[in-house]
Each structure stands twice: as C-alpha cells, then as structure tokens.
Amino acid sequence: MAFWEPRSAALTIRRILKVNHAGEFGAIRIYNAQLALARHLYPDIVPALTEMRDDEIEHCRLFVEAMPARGARPCRVMAFWSLGGYVLGFVTALLGRNMIWVCTEAVEATVHRHLEDQIAFLRDRDRPLHDLIGSIQAQELAHLQHAVDHQPRQGLLRAATLPLIGLVTESLIWLSTWGDTGSMRREIAR
C-alpha cells in the first residue's frame, strides 16, 4: 500500500482490537495494584474493586477471542501497559480511597471517548465487533458512574490529578499504536 492511500478498514479494525486489548490489560493491572493495597487499607471497597477487575478480565478475554478472525495480534508494548497500569494503581491507592475513584473516573472517561469513535466507525463495517464494544462500553460507563458516585471529596487534588491521569492514559494509547491514534481518529471520522 502506498503511503498516500487511505488506510484500509481492516487495518483500522486490527488497531482497534490491539489497543482495546492492551487497555483492558492495563485496567486489570491498575485494579490488581489497588486491590493489593485496599485489602490492607480500605477493605470495604475490595468487593467493588474485585467486581470491576473481573469485568476487565472478561473484556480482555473477549477482545483476544475477536482477534484471530480479523488477523489482529496483541500490542508489542504490553510491558508499558503492565508497568504503567500497576504504577498508576499503586500510587493512586497510596494517596487514599478517594484517589482510587479519581483514577477510575479519569481512565474510564478517556476510554469512553475512544470507544465512542470506534463504535461510530464499526457500525457499517463490522457489526459483531460494534455490538461487542457497545456491550463493553455499557459496563465501562457503570464503572465510571460508580467512581463518580463514591468521591465524597472533590478538592484540589482531584482537580490536579484528573487531567494528569487522563493524559497518562492517552499517552499509553498513543504509544501502543506507535503514535497512530491521530490517523486512526481521522480514519474513524471519515
């Protein structure tokens, strides 16, 4: 394919699967780190965190399952997601239970924007994947809502960290598509 030709839909679909699978893996790592600390520091939120982590494990499995038929393969920089997710989860859990929910809110809000683009792109191109992402999106929105509803304090720390965590999430998405999120976005918008 010459570089000036538009990307094929199949390539964009492979990239969508790759980045979504990596994102779910990162989310599992965030929750695992937060659970490791919450078991000692905030045992009351362990059931909610466990439920969300289990949702992410299921999402990850579903994306792996959707890959072979579309010729997609997992991201080559999974180590970034693994380490980035764990560090983000660990640091936010250290900063308190409120910050755990700030982290969930920031990550889910960023993910939601990407899922919206993907769903619009897939509507007439890959209906089964469109429906799969639609059902996953509904669960991610429930995570987002839970996080918003469980922040009694919405002070300065939240105002400072919410955009920062969103930026970290965007950077990981950018990295795992080798900076291709921009062109993917344009292709999705076409």
Give the residue nearest to Fe ion (CB).
59
What is the 8-class DSSP label of residue 152?
A: S
How near is the Cβ of 172 to Fe ion at its closest, in Å? 14
Enumerate residues 48-77 that contact Fe ion by CB under 5 A. 56, 59
Enumerate residues 129-168 that contact Fe ion by CB under 5 A. 140, 143
Residue that the structure tokens 């429906």 belong to: 131
What is the 8-class DSSP label of residue 153?
A: -
How near is the Cβ of 141 to Fe ion at its closest, in Å? 9
Angstrom distance (rounded) from CA 140 to CA 154: 21
On whether the CB atoms of residues 165 and 109 are closer than 8 A, the answer is: no
Residue closer to Fe ion by CB (options 140, 187) is 140
Q: How far is CA 90 from CA 107, 126, 174, 186, 187, in A?
A: 14, 37, 22, 35, 36
Q: Judged by CB under 5 A, how many residues of this single chain contact Fe ion? A: 5
Q: Is 105 in the site for Fe ion (CB under 5 A)?
A: no
How near is the Cβ of 20 to Fe ion at its closest, in Å? 8
- Contact residues toward Fe ion (CB under 5 A) are 24, 56, 59, 140, 143
